[in-house]
Amino acid sequence: MILWPLVTLASVVTSHVVREGNTCTLYPEALRHNGTGIDDSPSIHRAFKLCGKGGNVIFTDNTFHINSALNTTNLANCDVSVRGELRFSDDIAYWRNNSYSVVLQDQVTAWLFGGKDVNVHFDGGWYNGQGQAWYTENRNTSNQPGRPISMTFYNSTNLFVDGLTIIQPQFWATFVWQSQNVSLTNLVVNATSNDQWGTMNTDGYDSWNSDTLLVENAYITNGDDCVAAKGNTTNLLVRNVTCNHSTGMTIGSVGQNPKKPDYVQNVTFEDVRCLGCTDGAYIKTWQGTYTSSSSNLNGDSGGGGHGLIKNITFRDFEMTNVALPIQLSQCIYTESTSKSCNTSKMQIEDVTWANIKGTSRYNVAASIYCSDLHPCPNINFENIDIRSVNSTLGLPMYNTTLQHEVYQCKNVIGQKSSGIPCNHVAPDNYPQSPLGNIH
């Protein structure tokens, strides 16, 4: 009667998981190995196996070295508390060959997490992706095969994540996939490079094939989408978010796969601040014909997909020095050529931009381009007040003869009653990130 619990306690201490009833408390292996960063992934897997159903998992206030991929899915009625640093290794060769697939664009993830009725609280702890190695390796190119998403929430129902802080994510910071009723509150993402290379593809939040989602109270510094609703995202509310040097709030990209339609409906972005961003509030789709990329990188080829984007609202935005505050483009990845820009098979309708104010970096406030094949009905502007930075300083707009804010449009059904003060025709090859004024 006495020996059994002693043996059990010895076994759990050896694995550095202390189990008391339904609570598993994690301690890093480094505490027993003179600070050596031994992989804590086996202990983490053991803790979730022991206490991931009807229990509690606690990461103590220490540094955990995560040197191998994590799969903590199929959890149920579980509470997780992260009080220390989760430091993922920067072994690029390992991660490129051992991360878990997330299917979309052949992407992978370092941590696959999910379950039903799960609460995760970052109680002073944080996720350190050590992304600098990836930024330097990537050298400002596009998607690098095997570069892992930091944390993917998969096959989850009633998942609540509060206080998640991700420093230097390896790739996209968070990804919600095949889930419903998932909330991320008080989210912080900081993808900042310490050398000359940028932080491309460090999206703060992406969702795909998921429904009933919330992102609330977030501060995101990164080099790509702040928050993005990808294909088959429905009923997403994004509220009280600051985007710093990102590409803003977006629908898309969608329409990449000709065999799988995309439907994005009932999405609201509200109370958003875009500070020094390249974009602010925009919608991007692929063109209607498939294009193969010579770069041979995952996610760079596509087009020809069909579907619907409907009932989208961007409201209560404050733009500060944003290169392109408002955009709708149906050929975002063939912007350098007009050969296929007018072929989009995506229908876009019922989109409202309301109460958006602030400054544009150049002399363009908005570019709304809908294809001839699918013109856009019910596109509305309400109370839009955007002026170039120079204009607010009483200075002339440089390097252009146009001294007014440009609102360019094409194929907007009912444009005269839309509230959009169209004063230029939107070209079919206007870039997502302009580098200068419209002349």
Write the pLDDT tens digit of every residue in 127-150.
999 999 999 999 998 778 899 999
Q: What pLDDT shows up at residue 334?
A: 62
Percent of the chain with pLDDT over 90: 78
Q: What's the rounded Cα separation, in Å, for the pair 58 and 51? A: 10
Summarize the confidence of residues 250-265 as an average pLDDT: 94
Q: What's the rounded Cα separation, in Å, for the pair 145 and 167? A: 21
Confidence check: pLDDT of 401 > 90: no
Write the pLDDT tens digit of every residue in 1-50.
333 343 334 334 445 899 999 999 999 999 988 888 899 999 999 999 99
Write the pLDDT tens digit of every residue in 168-216.
999 999 999 999 999 999 999 999 999 999 999 999 999 999 999 999 9
Q: Which of 259, 181, 256, 192 has its CA nearest to residue 219?
A: 192
Q: Is 123 a catalytic residue?
A: no
User: Is the separation of the CB atoms in 228 and 205 below 8 Å?
Assistant: yes
Give the E-state strand segments of 31-110 in sequence order.
56-59, 63-66, 70-82, 85-88, 100-101, 108-109
Q: What's the rounded Cα separation, in Å, for the pair 84 and 82? A: 6
Percent of the chain with pLDDT over 70: 92
Domains delineated in the chain: 17-425 (2.160.20.10)
Q: Which of 79, 224, 225, 428 is catalytic?
A: 224
Other Cβ atoms closer than 10 A to 194: 9
By DSSP bridging, strand 108-109 and strand 100-101 are antiparallel
pLDDT category at 430 given cuts 50, 70, 90 is confident
Write the pLDDT tens digit of every residue in 282-298.
999 998 888 776 555 66
Mean pLDDT, rounded, of the chain? 92
More confident residue, 69 or 12: 69
